[in-house]
């Protein structure tokens, strides 16, 4: 029986055949950008999708066998920004960004889970960098993948973590951040790399 990692790599191979290609974030994207090989096991394959493309990307997910989606977070009523789907041992997480003023943002309106017994912090916007979707494809374990830019990967994680929306970063996540920073931004300070994080213009009640 194939391992979860083998199944994930096969999924990435199938994703590479899709047109237009999907952009990945999270651990697989970091590994692809930094060393072109897997550094550790990963729980899921993470996508980043502009809202204008969401319907088409969900159809691509269905082509890959992911037919049911659960919403873990919304930007506004009826507008998810965090979706997840599972097929056997495989799972994908889909982050949805909005296009505002010629750029992209992640709007964290509400999260459908609790942290330490309380509603997860929300009601804020993280500005994504201009190069979010412009990085060239790279290879991971010999498979062509399209990662979001290194700056996007770093700023998404640190921006959302700054509000505690998914709880404190664990040691694995902190190591990933340090690894990404050392490889891609060794001469930039933490302050320079911090994204713009602002309250949502219309917070959910």
Please report, for the domain that includes residue 177, its CATH number. 3.30.460.40
- Kindly state whether residue 204 falls inside one of the protein's structural domains: no
Work out the average pLDDT over 172-188. 92
The answer to whether position 38 is within a domain reads: yes
**Structure confidence by residue, pLDDT tens digits, 42-95:** 999 999 999 999 999 999 999 999 999 999 999 999 999 999 999 999 999 999
Q: Is residue 61 in a domain?
A: yes
Q: What does the pLDDT average to over 181-202?
A: 94
Q: Is residue 90 part of a domain?
A: yes
Domain that holds residue 43: 4-199
- Cβ atoms of 147 and 153 within 8 Å: the answer is yes
Q: Which residue has the higher pLDDT, 35 or 95?
A: 95
205 in a domain, yes or no? no
Residue 70 lies in a domain: yes
User: Confidence band (pLDDT; 50, 70, 90) for 205?
Assistant: low
What mean pLDDT value characterizes the chain? Answer: 94
Phi first, then psi: what are they for 197, rounded to 5°? -125, 120
- Provide the domain count of the chain: 1
Could you report the per-residue pLDDT of 91-128, keeping only the tens digit for each? 999 999 999 988 999 999 999 998 888 899 999 999 99
Mean pLDDT, residues 4-23 taken together: 95
pTM of the model: 0.94
């Amino acid at each position: 029986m194939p391992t979860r990692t083998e199944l994930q790599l096969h999924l990435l191979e199938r994703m590479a055949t899709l047109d237009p290609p999907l952009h990945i974030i999270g651990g697989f994207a970091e590994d692809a950008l930094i060393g072109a090989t897997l550094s550790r096991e990963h729980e899921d394959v993470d996508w980043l999708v502009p809202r204008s493309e969401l319907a088409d990307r969900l159809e691509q997910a269905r082509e890959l066998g992911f037919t049911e989606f659960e919403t873990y977070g919304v930007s506004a009523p009826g507008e998810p920004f965090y979706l997840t789907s599972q097929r056997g041992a495989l799972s994908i997480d889909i982050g949805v960004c909005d296009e505002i003023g010629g750029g992209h943002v992640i709007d964290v309106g509400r999260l459908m889970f609790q942290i330490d017994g309380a509603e997860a912090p929300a009601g804020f916007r993280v500005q994504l960098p201009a190069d979010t979707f412009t990085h060239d494809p790279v290879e991971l374990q010999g498979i062509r993948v399209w990662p979001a830019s290194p700056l996007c990967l770093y700023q998404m994680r640190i921006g959302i973590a700054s509000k505690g929306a998914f709880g404190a970063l664990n040691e694995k996540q902190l190591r990933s951040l340090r690894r990404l920073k050392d490889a891609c931004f060794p001469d930039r300070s933490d302050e320079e790399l911090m994204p713009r994080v602002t309250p949502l213009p219309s917070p959910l009640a």
